Amino acid sequence: MKRIFAIVSLAALAACGADGEPKPPQLAGQVTMSSSGVSIGTSATLKRGPFRLGVGVGL
């Protein structure tokens, strides 16, 4: 059952297609200084049409 699900998932993903040029992700970094210390953050965002996927990390 797991194999069938994996094959169907991969087939559905492949059926979506990828037309056009590949888009690189947008990267951003941020350094904030305040009276309580320094914080550092970074994020990566991938945008394709109306969809946006982002991941961020802050220290």
Model pLDDT for residues 19-58, shown as the tens digit of each residue: 666 677 788 888 888 888 898 888 888 887 788 888 888 7
Specify the 3-state DSSP secondary structure of 54: strand
For the entire predicted model, the pTM comes to: 0.47
Contact 52, 45 (CB under 8 A): yes
Q: How far, in whole angstroms, is CA 52 from its chain's centroid? A: 8
Local confidence band at 13 (pLDDT 50, 70, 90 cut-offs): low
Local confidence band at 15 (pLDDT 50, 70, 90 cut-offs): low
Phi, psi of 19 (to 5 degrees): -100, 145
The predicted model gives 7-29 an average pLDDT of: 72
Name the helix (H) or strand (E) containing 15. helix 2-16
Q: Structure tokens of 15?
A: 């059926």
Q: Structure tokens of 48?
A: 């394709």
pLDDT, position 1: 74
